[in-house]
Amino acid sequence: MILVTGGTGFVGASVLRRLAEDGTHALRAAVRRADATVPYGVEKVLVDALTANTDWTAALSGVTAVVHCAARVHIMDDTAQHPLDEFRRVNVQGTLTLARQAAAAGVQRFIFVSSIKVNGEMTEAGAPFTADDVPAPVDAYGVSKLEAEQGLRELEVQTGMEVVIIRPPLVYGPGVKANFAAMMRWLARGVPLPLGAIHNQRSLVALDNMVDLMVTCLRHPNAAGQTFLVSDGQDTSTTELLQRMAQAMGRRAHLIPVPASMLKLGAKLIGKPDIAQRLCGSLQVDIEKTRRVLGWTPPLTLDQGLQKAAKGNVRETSV
């Protein structure tokens, strides 16, 4: 039996679908609503929240592996008075409570979806993040994910439960939200964008590639005790990404070649420097360790991933 938390979320729901299609494991999804939709044959168990006080007894009964996708996710304009406290309450205390109860229940392997933000916010040209870099999180979300990782490694030593950590960059695919979905809407509507001269390099990961690695980590003996980075294996600039997205949608990208320095200045003047960093800065990840240890290759190319994302978001992006 495999337990998936966050089973109705963007990544968790896709993991459940993939595992249900494989048909090799009994599956259970931790959900917060009785009417939550899960794939046929997947057992639902109600869990009110991910906190230090959550009782996972029913959810963990008979479970041999946990795929932990549930989290308090990164929010661009977080309105919480003390964001780090809120992230810790869910991502650290909630995760470690689940993990301790999982170990006590005899769970053999615990897959934790972390974040590339544990490594940091940006990379220099030609110096991608690696899985063995010294962590350097900047924001509260990244700090909470690092603290959860550290707690899980300590628990692994104490209990022998195998922990596998995966740090993805931006995950995109059918049903993607936030900034990626906004860019698709702009392209669909033919909105001119001042992003035609951005020469950065960023790593992304298609939803199918992310899920494939997670399923691989459930089964591969060499995954135990490891931390992996994941991507499509093809880095791209913001300008090239928009051009490829438009092509996948059967549209033409209207990009104005505004220098990155001017975009950064404008974003700073309006109090939104983080937006410019995401659009103009580089964030590359090196997945050589993932390939070598697991013999894993991303099943989808960047263009194939964008095509699936475009088809899956056709209603949202239609004019």
pLDDT in tens, 203-214: 999 999 999 999
For every residue of 43-90, DSSP letters joined together read EEEE----STT---HHHHTT-SEEEE-------TT---SSHHHHHIII
Summarised one tens digit per residue, pLDDT across range 36-90 is 889 898 999 999 889 999 999 999 999 999 999 999 886 655 566 678 999 999 9
Q: Can 40 be counted among the known catalytic residues?
A: no
Summarised one tens digit per residue, pLDDT across range 263-298 is 888 878 888 778 888 888 999 999 999 999 999 999
Residue 314 pLDDT greater than 60, yes or no? no
Residue 151 pLDDT greater than 60, yes or no? yes
Q: Are 71 and 6 in contact (CB under 8 A)?
A: yes
Residue 318 pLDDT greater than 60, yes or no? no
Mean pLDDT score of the chain: 92
Q: What are phi and psi of 57, to 5 degrees?
A: -55, -50
Catalytic site residue from 141, 172, 186, 228? 141
Summarised one tens digit per residue, pLDDT across range 91-105 is 999 999 999 999 999
Residue 47, exposed/middle/buried by CB under 10 A (0-12, 13-18, 19+)?
buried
The model's pTM: 0.93
Give the SS3 label for residue 146. helix
Residue 178's pLDDT is what?
Answer: 83
Residue type, 318: S
Mean pLDDT of 294-310: 96
Q: Are 207 and 172 in contact (CB under 8 A)?
A: yes
Residue 288 carries which DSSP code?
Answer: H
Q: Return the CA Rg of the chain.
A: 20
Query: Over the range 118-153, which residues count as b (16 or more CB within 10 Å of their CB) and which as e?
Result: bbbbbbeeeebbebebebebebbbbbbbbbbbebbe
Q: Are 51 and 97 in contact (CB under 8 A)?
A: yes
Q: Which helix (H) or strand (E) holds 102?
A: helix 95-104
* Confidence bin at 132 (pLDDT 50/70/90): very high
Residue 11 pLDDT greater than 50, yes or no? yes
Distance CA 289, CA 275 (A): 30
Residue 6's pLDDT is what?
Answer: 92
Contacts of residue 249, defined as CB under 8 A and 6 or more positions apart, other chains included, come to 184, 187, 188, 310, 317
CB atoms within 10 A of CB 237: 17
CA geometry: angle at 116 spanning 245 and 176, to 5°?
Answer: 35
Summarised one tens digit per residue, pLDDT across range 172-198 is 999 898 889 999 999 999 999 999 999
